[in-house]
Amino acid sequence: MRTDLRIVATTDALPEIHASGGLAARRTGPHTVHLVGTAATPLGGDELHISVTVGQGARLAVRSVAATIALPAATTRISCARWLFEVAEGGELDVETEPLIVAGGADHRAVTTVRLAADARLRLRERVQIGRAGEDRGAWRGDLIADLDGLPLLRHRLELGCAAATDDALSASRALDSELVYPDDRPVETFGLHATRLPLAAGGSLFTAVGARLSATTSPRTLSDAAVSAPATA
């Protein structure tokens, strides 16, 4: 199944939403939308294309009503999602959806592209858990590509689970908490042995934490086996 979702925020109207397939969105405030599943997705073979555009001077918060579960299908285990976030001059975008759970046997690929104007503002948080209770054989790969005013801001790839090059049965991470913030001038911050916030050369920062399980606690941000805590960002 192919899913297409497009959200456009401007200063003179409520967010505009166009959706087809297994994912939709609902306006839950003047500047807030929540993603809502309308069918079981992503299953193996599914493709999701999500586009979020914030116009000049506009602001938008994107949330979700529940976690997403990636499941294998009878003929293929691979599903993919392509996210595009574009923020124009003076625009503000805050994205924090519930975690993606990759069930045993599933293999999910995510490609996230961010295009920011020089004076745009962004907070983009992503959380991934390999396996439901008692499972650890799923796989996930995420690419994060961010440009600032047409120039590279970030090129980042991370893999989790049984398909990762560094996977092992004893100690490999099965959970990720990641946050891209722009602008952000904080210096390097470390949180235990498995989490850090690194400043980016062109401005902004990338927080990355890995561990065994995501914590049920959403604030402060934590992973259960690493005592990770990253300060909340406005």
pLDDT at 233 over 60: no
The parent domain of residue 67 ranges over 2-211
Q: Is residue 224 part of a domain?
A: no
Q: What's the whole-model pTM score?
A: 0.90
Q: Is residue 233 included in any domain, yes or no? A: no
Is residue 229 within 8 Å of residue 218, measured between CB atoms?
A: no
115: Cβ–Cβ under 8 A, 6 or more apart, which residues? 84, 85, 86, 87, 146, 147
Kindly state the helix (H) or strand (E) to which residue 148 belongs, with its residue range: strand 139-148
Number of other CB atoms surrounding residue 227 within 10 Å = 14
Total domain count, the chain? 1
Is there a domain that residue 220 lies in? no
Q: What is the pLDDT of residues 46-104, one digit of tens each?
A: 999 999 999 999 999 999 999 999 999 988 999 999 999 999 999 999 999 999 999 98
